[in-house]
Amino acid sequence: MLDRPHPTPADPCLDPFALAKALSGFHFVGGGYVPGRNGRSFAVVNPATGIEVARAAEGDADDVDVAVQAAARAQKEWAKVPARKRGAMVHACAALLKEHQEELARLIALETGKALRTESRVEAGVVADVFEFFGGLGSELKGESVPFAPNVLSVTVREPLGVVGAIIPWNVPMLLMALKVAPALVAGNTVVVKSAEEAPLAVLRICELMNRILPPGCFNMLSGFGPECGAPLVAHPKVRKVTFTGSVETGKIVARAAAEKLIPVTLELGGKSPMIVFADCDFEKTVSGALTSMRFTRQGQSCTAASRIYVERPIFDRFVAAMKDAVNRMVMGDPLDEKTDIGTIVSEGQLEKVRGFIEEGTGTAGATAHVCSAMPTDPALKKGLFIQPVIFTGLGADSRLVREEIFGPVTVIAPFDEPEAVLAEANDSEYGLAASLWTNNLKVGLDLAHRLEAGLVQINQNLVVQANLSYGGVKSSGLGKEASLEAMLEHFTHKKTIMVNMG
Ligand code: NAI
Ligand code: MG
């Protein structure tokens, strides 16, 4: 630890505005908060009011170099710590994260506009769970013995890769960071994280919490823009593995840069996840499942959002009406207000992107836009990035709204008649992250589950990422898995073979 005092309080701080100010201008490198070397910063804005709440340090290649060197120095010692002890330390972070759950929830609500009760508090809880889960897996970094010859002992051992570069987005930044950092550390790597421009604060606070337990330099974080700070992190010669979550476009840039260095890369890149509803489903459960599947409480800003809903024709009209009613009952408002179900969109740019899709859908012949919920009326929220959820019907399979990731509160519902036809439509996508099926005919459900092109298929539920269930997509949705034991072993270690000839 650095010997100067931290700018942030030791105890949980329930005033997110004060905490945001205290976190202003810092990266976290080598065991302490450090100001950016170039002195530049950018605004962190509360999307509910449009008011600046903090400045974030604008990292560049120099900051990247300092952070990676710190991580590389720390890694040599960290790898020597027995795996189980490393796990115990990561596990101990979970307890601290739980103590600070409410603080982190409020801070993430402030910077991202995600509603505190329905989203932010949930995310802060899951983060602790992820640390707890991976913290218990130190002993699982096992190798194998290979029956080569009677006089030869042939074994494999799991070794860390070195310094891991982790690039995260803004939609669930704490959780997505945890899914990368916790397994990387338990496996003996050290990490440099590049946070998302829109949400640099809560993850920065987590660094300080983790640093109370982990040795300095194991865990470093830089804020900054993609090309100026993310790209040099991927390109740095001492970064030996990159794990990225974000858009397909940026994922390809990252993968190309990783290929230049011949280092492994894990990519989690969003989706266009279908939800298939059969007439024999449990109707009420499925309507409420559609709301959670679409992540309306997060303004649809989720890579697994059920943004294409296919409903068997006999219940189509009833389903659309029930969904409209249910979304209409959701309260949009100040993310920090306990009454609020739905907060804001994260940024002006995302809001424009979502509006573009809605305008295109509304202008399409034959399409109907069912605009739901009500805009908040509080004058303090006048400049907030709120948008009403929209359910579209009557759009064809070639519409951009059916094919592209919108990442907003917009879903398209279409009727279907035959299982084979809906399967073909569901699979007719560039993406393959997640899918859900809703039916009481498990024979049909399981058959389709096997044939859907997706990394995760759920029947009669649509839960978010769960610890120890491998998570990751096929097709343009990404490469590799996260969240599980296998993910830790496959993506954060390499297997070395050692042979001993005993004569
Ligand atoms: P993005 O993919 O551009 O940003 C994600 C992260 O990558 C950020 O930390 C960003 O700074 C970094 N980055 C950007 N350019 C980079 C580069 N050249 N080298 C290294 N790092 C770089 O996503 P963005 O612009 O925030 O959102 C655009 C769209 O991406 C969204 O509308 C949504 O469709 C999708 N998205 C998907 C997510 C997912 O969970 N899979 C998360 C966030 C966005
Ligand atoms: Mg971008």
pLDDT of residue 339: 98
Residue 2 has pLDDT above 50, yes or no: no
CA torsion sign for 119, 122, 128, 129 is: negative
Is the distance from CB of 335 to CB of 116 less than 8 angstroms? yes
Atom 43 of ligand 1: nearest residue by CA position: 246
Residue 321 has pLDDT above 80, yes or no: yes
pLDDT tens digits for range 26-64? 999 999 999 999 999 999 999 999 999 999 999 999 999
Which residue, chain included where needed, has tokens 């496959």? 490
Residue 329 has pLDDT above 50, yes or no: yes
| Position in ligand 1 atom list of the atom nearest CA 408 | 32
Tell me phi and psi for residue 457, to 5 degrees: -120, 130
Nearest of 333, 353, 352 to residue 343 by alpha carbon: 333
* CA of 169 relative to ligand 1 center, distance in Å: 6
Residue 2 forms part of a structural domain: no
pLDDT band, residue 6 (cuts 50/70/90) = confident
Number of independent structural domains in the chain: 2
Q: Give the ligand whose atoms come closest to the C-alpha of residue 236.
A: 1
Domain shared by 348 and 396, yes or no = yes
Domain shared by 419 and 282, yes or no = yes
Q: Determine the structural domain holding residue 221 and report its residue range.
A: 16-269+478-497
Cα–Cα distances in angstroms (integers) from residue 405 to residues 92, 248, 300, 382, 440, in the given order:
37, 10, 10, 28, 29
Domain shared by 413 and 305, yes or no = yes
Domain shared by 226 and 98, yes or no = yes
Q: pLDDT averaged over the chain?
A: 97
Residue 407 forms part of a structural domain: yes
Is the distance from CB of 230 to CB of 67 less than 8 angstroms? no
Domain shared by 28 and 95, yes or no = yes
Query: What percent of the chain is modeled with pLDDT above 90?
Result: 99
Is the distance from CB of 314 to CB of 424 less than 8 angstroms? no
Domain shared by 159 and 203, yes or no = yes
Residue 441 forms part of a structural domain: yes
Domain shared by 333 and 301, yes or no = yes
Nearest of 1, 42, 9, 17 to residue 335 by alpha carbon: 17
* CA of 367 relative to ligand 1 center, distance in Å: 30
Atom 28 of ligand 1: nearest residue by CA position: 247
Atom 9 of ligand 1: nearest residue by CA position: 196
Residue 92 forms part of a structural domain: yes
* CA of 346 relative to ligand 1 center, distance in Å: 13
Strand ranges for 128-262 from DSSP E: 145-149, 152-160, 163-167, 190-194, 219-222, 239-245
pLDDT band, residue 472 (cuts 50/70/90) = very high
Atom 25 of ligand 1: nearest residue by CA position: 247
Domain shared by 400 and 334, yes or no = yes
| The one catalytic residue among 268, 312, 405, 482 | 268
Ligand 1 interacting residues, C-beta cut-off 6 A: 167-171, 194, 196-197, 225-227, 230-231, 234, 245-247, 250, 253-254, 268-270, 303, 350, 353, 405, 407
Verify whether residue 268 is a known catalytic residue: yes
Residue 150 forms part of a structural domain: yes
* CA of 250 relative to ligand 2 center, distance in Å: 7
Residue 500 has pLDDT above 70, yes or no: yes
* CA of 264 relative to ligand 1 center, distance in Å: 19
Q: Which residue among 42, 234, 247, 268 is best mutated to probe the pocket of ligand 1, counting the most ligand atoms within 8 A of its Cβ?
A: 247
Q: Which residue among 243, 250, 464 is best mutated to probe the pocket of ligand 1, counting the most ligand atoms within 8 A of its Cβ?
A: 250
Q: Which residues contact 354 (CB under 8 A, 6 or more apart)?
A: 345, 387, 406, 407, 408, 409, 410
Domain shared by 289 and 406, yes or no = yes
Domain shared by 257 and 405, yes or no = no
pLDDT tens digits for range 283-307? 999 999 999 999 999 999 999 999 9
- 100: burial class by Cβ within 10 Å (0-12, 13-18, 19+)? buried
Residue 469 forms part of a structural domain: no
* CA of 268 relative to ligand 2 center, distance in Å: 14
pLDDT of residue 4: 56
Helix (H, G, I), strand (E, B) or coil at 160: strand
Residue 74 forms part of a structural domain: yes
pLDDT of residue 1: 42
Residue 375 has pLDDT above 80, yes or no: yes
Residue 3 has pLDDT above 90, yes or no: no
Domain shared by 258 and 368, yes or no = no
Residue 6 forms part of a structural domain: no
**Distance of alpha carbon 96 from alpha carbon 101, whole angstroms:** 9
Instruction: Specify the amino acid at residue 90.
Output: V
Average pLDDT over residues 469-474: 96
CATH code at position 449 = 3.40.309.10
What tokens appear for 17 in the block? 């505005």
pLDDT tens digits for range 400-430? 999 999 999 999 999 999 999 999 999 999 9
Domain shared by 293 and 413, yes or no = yes
